[in-house]
Amino acid sequence: MKIYISGKYFERSEAKVSVFDHGFLYGDGVFEGMRAYGGKVFRLRDHIERLWESAKGIALEIPIDADKMAEAIKDALLVNEITDGYIRLIVTRGEGTLGLDHYLCRNPQVIIIADKLALYPSELYEVGLEIVTASTIRINPAMLSPQIKSMNYLNNILAKIEAYKAGCAEVLMLNSRGEVAECSGDNIFIYKRGVLQTPPPEAGILEGITRRVVIEIAVNIGLKVKESPITRHDVFTAEECFLTGSAAELIPVVKLDDRTIGNGKPGEITKKLLTLFKKETAK
């Protein structure tokens, strides 16, 4: 595996950043997680745009322009001979001192890791996930916007630890108003009485790119789509529920906190949307 660091490639064992990099010291940096299908990066421009917005949110200037970034990503796939896989793009604040002063970090580092993807086991797509609600509340947008895909993922990791304890692969996170926000690394949708619903950005979520694509597909096939607040009760009483993310694509959810959702099997709308999503990735 060859890893891109600021214009050069390094073998995995040689790919290193400074312990004085503020990405390491403070989680000061931003990232993206993307998929490549058939040699093409899925929604590359959307990921690049979100990366730039995340960087703006933390006043970080990305040292190369968007076109160069796109080229570097494609090149990293070629160099690693990966046509179907996962790309982790990271921009750290760069090397600084032991203080918080971001302005002393003069060389933000761009890192691109292209790898094979470890997916959820395929049987989970057939039987659906069981998830639990985390006691860890999704970080309030007034503190640090969940729309910033930052290198500080402890809020999500604390929730994921709860998933692990409960024997679940994912975990539902509520916001500080007690509404459904999202999962530790996936967005959530419910379907009931002809309406597909997902929490709005104001619920304090990362605006997932998979989420956006699924909304587009749903609108195209004539489903009513609502981006409005959801409670746990809405999930319990939904006919169908599924999660979306670059890694997961669309994965059905059949239980929340031991309550069976719908008939306890992946729903028809979920399956239809997954089929259409797969078509979209194959374009």
The residues binding ligand PXG (CB under 6 A) are: 33, 156, 182, 185-187, 206, 208-211, 244-247
**243 pairs with which residues across the strands?**
188, 251
We find the least distance from the C-beta atom of residue 103 to ligand PXG, in angstroms, to be 28
The residues, ordered by sequence, that sit 6+ positions from 90 with a Cβ below 8 Å of its Cβ are: 23, 29, 30, 31, 109, 110, 111, 112, 113, 151
H-helix or E-strand containing 40?
strand 40-41
We find the least distance from the C-beta atom of residue 198 to ligand PXG, in angstroms, to be 11
Of 109 and 187, the one with the shorter C-beta distance to ligand PXG is 187
We find the least distance from the C-beta atom of residue 193 to ligand PXG, in angstroms, to be 26
283 belongs to the catalytic site: no
Of 51 and 105, the one with the shorter C-beta distance to ligand PXG is 51
Whole-angstrom distance, CA of residue 149 vs CA of residue 242: 22
253 close to 243: Cβ distance less than 8 angstroms: yes
Strands 40-41 and 85-92 turn out to be unpaired
**37 pairs with which residues across the strands?**
40
18 exposed, middle or buried (CB, 10 Å; 0-12, 13-18, 19+)?
A: middle
We find the least distance from the C-beta atom of residue 234 to ligand PXG, in angstroms, to be 19
We find the least distance from the C-beta atom of residue 147 to ligand PXG, in angstroms, to be 10
Of 96 and 252, the one with the shorter C-beta distance to ligand PXG is 252
Of 21 and 186, the one with the shorter C-beta distance to ligand PXG is 186
Of these residues, 68, 149, 278, 279, which one is catalytic?
149
CA 197 to chain centre: 19
Question: Helix 268-281 crosses helix 209-220 at what angle (to 10 degrees)?
Answer: 110
Of 28 and 32, the one with the shorter C-beta distance to ligand PXG is 32
Q: Where are the alpha helices (DSSP H) in 136-195?
A: 154-165
Give catalytic residues, as residue numbers. Answer: 149
